[in-house]
Amino acid sequence: MKIHLGPAGSPASSTLEGLAAVRQLGLQAMEAQFTHGINMGLQLAKQIGEENQKQGIVLSVHAPYYINLASEERSKVAASKKRILDSCERAHIMGAKNIVFHAAYYGKHKKEETYSIVREAMLEIMSIIEKNQWNVQLAPETTGRISQFGTLDEIIKLVKEINCSFCLDSAHIYARANGNIDYSNVFRQLNFWKKPLHCHFSGIAFSEKGERNHLNLNSNDFNDFAKHVLQSKRETTIISETPITWRDSLKMKKIFEQMGYKF
């Protein structure tokens, strides 16, 4: 098994410069952030892809936050699909595999209705990805607010039904469950997944509505998570989404090394 650790966003001044910086830090992964909008042209994406052929970083992309595939407004659904597809195009050119995104809000829909809407929208997007022969996979994320589509059960059902990938954000599961998470149960539910696992990890502040904001790494929490990652014997990428992303990635690395894993 291989474990890849790295930050959400670049530890340098740009995604392009971040690839070498990640490698110099002794890390193995990085998630390009389109969270506040896609400001990367196709030519820059090509440069990043060429640079990463030298650096060998496991790249992923976080699509914009402004996505709601279950919006009641058709224009917002269309814009959401375009944001995902624009992220996919750039990811393909860069050589990034997983396209992470928050799929939807329940709004006025029942949860079952939201699931069906998201499922159909993702199938449409996946057909366009296949038509364009982009080497990427959609990775809807477990979400942290109770108003959002994206419980672990919903994501697992989606993965099983349409054969997409996913992003396991344990901080979001923790916040959504009011400060409770059983990693043994989480990884038991993921036994069906035999492919590489893509994860986010951070501390988190929450309220009765779920996630409020991400916090720096709690080593005790990560120890428990890391133990289950090693027990799963599955290739795993873990992206640090804490306020000090790459520094906490290095803390994660130290914890894995203390458990006997060699990078």
* CA 179/CA 171 separation, integer angstroms: 9
Q: Which domain holds residue 61?
A: 3-258
Where would I find the beta strands (DSSP E) of the chain?
A: 3-7, 29-33, 58-62, 98-101, 104-105, 137-140, 148-149, 167-169, 197-201, 203-207, 210-215, 236-240
Which residues of the chain register pLDDT less than 70?
none
Residue 24 is assigned to a structural domain of this protein? yes
pLDDT in the model for residue 210: 83
pLDDT in the model for residue 250: 98
102 pairs with which residues across the strands? none
Residue among 7, 76, 80, 14 at smallest CA distance from 45: 14
Kindly give, in sequence order, each residue whose CB lies less than 8 Å from that of residue 133, ignoring residues fewer than 6 positions away: none
CATH code of residue 51: 3.20.20.150
pLDDT in the model for residue 261: 97
Please, is 26 exposed, middle or buried when counting C-beta atoms within 10 Å of its C-beta (0-12, 13-18, 19+)?
exposed
Our count of domains for the chain comes to 1
Residue 263 is assigned to a structural domain of this protein? no
pLDDT in the model for residue 132: 98
pLDDT in the model for residue 131: 98
pLDDT in the model for residue 134: 98
